[in-house]
């Protein structure tokens, strides 16, 4: 009898661990980190790029000789 009781406790622990692992996986899928961001997503806004001088603004093209 003691063995079957111990087996049921172990089974419940395994099921709990499996459920916690599944919940952790769902939580990470809901909020991806920066490293997991899919390719092609926009990181910087156009205003940010203009501020760094990567993209020329219309006022920059008028000032050039």
> Count of domains in the chain?
1
The arithmetic mean of pLDDT across residues 37-53, rounded, is: 75
Instruction: Confirm whether 40 is domain-assigned.
Output: no
- Measured in residues, the chain has a length of 65
What secondary structure, in 3-state letters, does 28-53 show? Answer: HHHCCCHHHCCCCCCCCCHHHHHHHC
Q: Report the distance separating Cα 6 and Cα 28, nearest Å.
A: 33
Instruction: Confirm whether 59 is domain-assigned.
Output: no
pLDDT of residue 63: 54
Instruction: Confirm whether 43 is domain-assigned.
Output: no
The arithmetic mean of pLDDT across residues 48-65, rounded, is: 67
Instruction: Confirm whether 48 is domain-assigned.
Output: no
pLDDT of residue 57: 62
Domain that holds residue 1: 1-32
Instruction: Confirm whether 52 is domain-assigned.
Output: no
Judge if pTM exceeds 0.75: no
């Amino acid at each position: 009898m003691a063995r079957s009781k111990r087996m049921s406790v172990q089974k419940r622990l395994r099921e709990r661990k499996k459920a916690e692992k599944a919940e952790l996986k769902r939580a990470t899928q809901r909020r991806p980190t920066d490293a997991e961001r899919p390719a092609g997503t926009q990181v910087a806004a156009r205003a940010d790029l203009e501020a760094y001088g990567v993209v020329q603004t219309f006022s920059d093209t008028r000032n050039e000789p």
